[in-house]
Amino acid sequence: MLNKADLLARKASAETRRWLEGKIAEIPIVETVNADVPLAIVLDVGHLFDVKRTKTPGHHHANHEADVFEIDRLVYPKALMDKLSAQAHGLIRVNGFIQSSDGRFCVIQSVGRRWAVSETSPTDEEKGRIVCITHMPPIDTQAISRIINELD
């Protein structure tokens, strides 16, 4: 995501885009304003962006790993975020959409141990989906899956 694109001069925008393309040549660059990312892009992470590509040895982001987790049931978003933000899991980012235990649709996001849950409009997706990113792979996918599956 190239955020605050509206604040860049045209020349600076082109230079920034070229620089980014040099770092992540095969991943699409989406320009945003006020971090307003179209919902279709966020929910289609597994198709538009190849999150597994960050695991490629020698890639600029080889020290990061991302994984997508589907959540096909209602969950307590605060309990989920409390557990995912624990330092033991090494996650540096979590973003996604879920349906909470009271039926509301929520956007969840975290940076480090700070997290937020916000109500949003329903999506066309039948399942919730979150993207977890860690620094210094590997992601403990079994532990993350256990957290998701064991939530009351």
CB of 77 closer than 8 Å to CB of 103: no
For residue 56, give the CATH number of its domain.
Answer: 3.30.1220.10
**Distance in angstroms (rounded) separating the CA atoms of residues 29 and 113:** 27
- In terms of domains, do 137 and 69 share one? yes
pTM of the model: 0.59
Asked if residues 85 and 110 have their Cβ atoms less than 8 Å apart, the reply is yes
Q: Are residues 56 and 99 in the same domain?
A: yes
How many domains are there within the chain?
2
Between residues 14 and 70, the one the model is more confident about: 70
pLDDT of residue 77: 92
**98-86-62-27 Cα dihedral, nearest 10 degrees:** 20
Residue 35: helix, strand or coil by DSSP? coil
Higher pLDDT, 64 or 107: 107
The average confidence (pLDDT) of the chain is 77
Q: pLDDT value at position 114? A: 87
- Structure confidence at residue 56 (pLDDT): 34
Domain that holds residue 4: 1-36
